[in-house]
Amino acid sequence: MTFILRPFSIVTAGLVPLLTAGLLASTFTGCRNGDSPGETSHGSAPAGTAIQLVVVDDPAMAAAIGQLRAEFRGQSGWDVDVRQLTASELNSAGAVEADALIVSSSQLGTLAQRDLLLPLPDELARSSQAQWSEIFDLIRSREAVWSNRVMAVPFGSGLLTCYYRADLFERLNLKPPATWKDYQRITSLLSDRDRLGDAAPPPGQQWRGTLEPLAPGWASVTLLARAAAYASHRGNYSTLFDIETMEPLIDGPPFVRALEELMAVAGPDGTELLTQDPTTIRNAFWAGQCGMALTWPTATAAIAAGPDENRRVEFAEMPGSQDVYNVTDRAWETRRRGESPHVPLLASAGRLGGVLRTSKWPDESFQLLLWLSDPQWSEQVCTATPATTLFRRSHLKNAGKWVEDAVPVEAAVAYAELTEAAFTRQQSLAVLRIPGSDEYLAALDDAVHRAVRGEVTASKSLEETAIQWREITERLGVEPQRKAYGNSLGLD
352 bridge partner residues: 103, 154
CA–CA separation, 422 and 415 (whole Å): 10
CB 424 within 8 A of CB 159: no
Q: What is the pLDDT of residues 277-327, one digit of tens each?
A: 999 999 999 999 999 999 999 999 877 555 466 789 999 999 999 999 999
CA 267/CA 362 separation, integer angstroms: 52
CATH T-level topology, domain 16-158+347-403: D-Maltodextrin-Binding Protein; domain 2 (3.40.190)
Report the length, in residues, of the chain.
492
Q: Mean pLDDT, to the nearest integer, of 69-98?
A: 91
The predicted-structure confidence for 450-479, as pLDDT tens digits, reads as follows 999 999 999 999 999 999 999 999 999 999
**What band does 122 get if pLDDT is binned at 50, 70 and 90?**
confident
20 close to 77: Cβ distance less than 8 angstroms: yes
Tell me: domain 161-345+427-488, CATH 3.40.190.10, correct? yes
> What is the tens place of the pLDDT at every residue in 6-46?
222 333 333 333 333 333 333 333 343 333 323 334 458 89
Q: What is the pLDDT of residues 344-396, one digit of tens each?
A: 999 999 999 999 999 999 999 999 999 999 999 999 999 999 999 999 999 99
User: Residue 397 — pLDDT band, cuts 50, 70, 90?
Assistant: very high
- As annotated, the residues of the chain forming the CATH 3.40.190.10 domain(s) are 16-158+347-403, 161-345+427-488
Higher pLDDT, 81 or 16: 81
Confidence class for position 127, pLDDT limits 50, 70, 90: low
pLDDT over 60 at 270, yes or no? yes
pTM (2 d.p.): 0.90
CA 161 to each of CA 222, 414, 491: distance values in angstroms, whole numbers, following the listed order: 11, 12, 29
How much of the chain exceeds pLDDT 90, in percent?
79
**Mean pLDDT across the chain, nearest whole number?**
89
Provide DSSP, 164-224: EEHHHHHHTT----SBHHHHHHHHHHHH-HHHHGGGSPPTTS--EEEE---STTTHHHHHH
Strand blocks (E) in 357-437: 429-430
What is the rounded distance in angstroms from the CA atom of residue 461 to the CA atom of residue 451?
Answer: 7
User: How far does Cα 237 stand from its chain's mean position?
Assistant: 19
> Please, are residues 428 and 140 in contact by the beta-carbon 8 Å criterion?
no
Q: How many Å apart are CA 233 and CA 4, to the nearest integer?
A: 11
pLDDT band at 129 (very low <50, low <70, confident <90, very high): low
Query: If you average pLDDT over residues 59-79, what whole number do you get?
Result: 96
Q: Give the separation between CA 399 and CA 401, rounded to whole angstroms.
A: 5
For residue 211, the one-letter residue type is: L
Let me know if 197 is exposed, middle or buried by CB neighbors in 10 A (0-12, 13-18, 19+). Answer: exposed
Predicted local distance difference test score (pLDDT) of residue 346: 97
Please write the tens of the pLDDT for every residue from 403-455: 999 999 999 999 999 999 999 999 999 999 999 999 999 999 999 999 999 99
Query: Does residue 4 carry a pLDDT above 80?
Result: no
Per-residue pLDDT of 156-214, as tens digits, reads: 999 999 999 999 999 999 999 999 999 999 999 999 999 999 899 988 899 999 999 99
Q: What is the pLDDT of residue 121?
A: 87
